[in-house]
Amino acid sequence: MVVKVKLFATFRRGRFREQDMELPDGCTVEWVLDHLNIPRRQLGIIYLNGLAASEDTVLHQGDTLSIFPMVGGG
């Protein structure tokens, strides 16, 4: 299945900004995070098709997954 994956801020570095990824059927958000080596300690919000999702959310063909790092400085 193909899922559009969007990365934001520091997660773009050395990876990509937006990519249609070929993923195993039935895989979860966690699989994508592992595959892209996203550091969990910096992980902020995860959106799937514009709604908040979690690491164990199952992905489907045509989904759009957005992954953001946590930003907290002032």
Partner 1 sequence: MTRWLELKDTLVLAERQGKTPLEIEKEHLAQGVVPLHYQRNYNAISLSDQIKLLDSRVGVCGCGGLGMNIVNYLARLGVGHITVWDPDIFSESNLNRQLFSSSDNIGKSKVEVCRASVQQINPAVCLTAIPAKWEESDASVICQQQVMVDALDNIPSRIALARSCEKFNIPLVHGAVGGWYGQLTVVMPGDRILQEIYQNAEQQGIEKEQGTLPYTAAVLAGLEAAETVKLLLDMESDLRSHLCLVDLLNMSLDMLPKCNNNVNKM
Q: For residues 74 and 60, give the distance between their C-alpha atoms in angstroms, rounded to a whole number.
A: 37
Contact between 71 and partner 1 per CB under 8 A: yes
Q: For residues 14 and 60, give the distance between their C-alpha atoms in angstroms, rounded to a whole number.
A: 26
Amino acid identity of residue 58, one-letter, is V
Which positions from 8 to 47 touch partner 1 by CB under 8 A, shown as an x/- string?
Answer: xxx-x----x-----------------------xxxxx-x
Q: Please, are residues 54 and 28 in contact by the beta-carbon 8 Å criterion?
A: no
Contact between 57 and partner 1 per CB under 8 A: no
Please report, as ranges, the residues that interact with partner 1 according to CB under 8 A: 8-10, 12, 17, 41-45, 47, 50-52, 66, 68-74
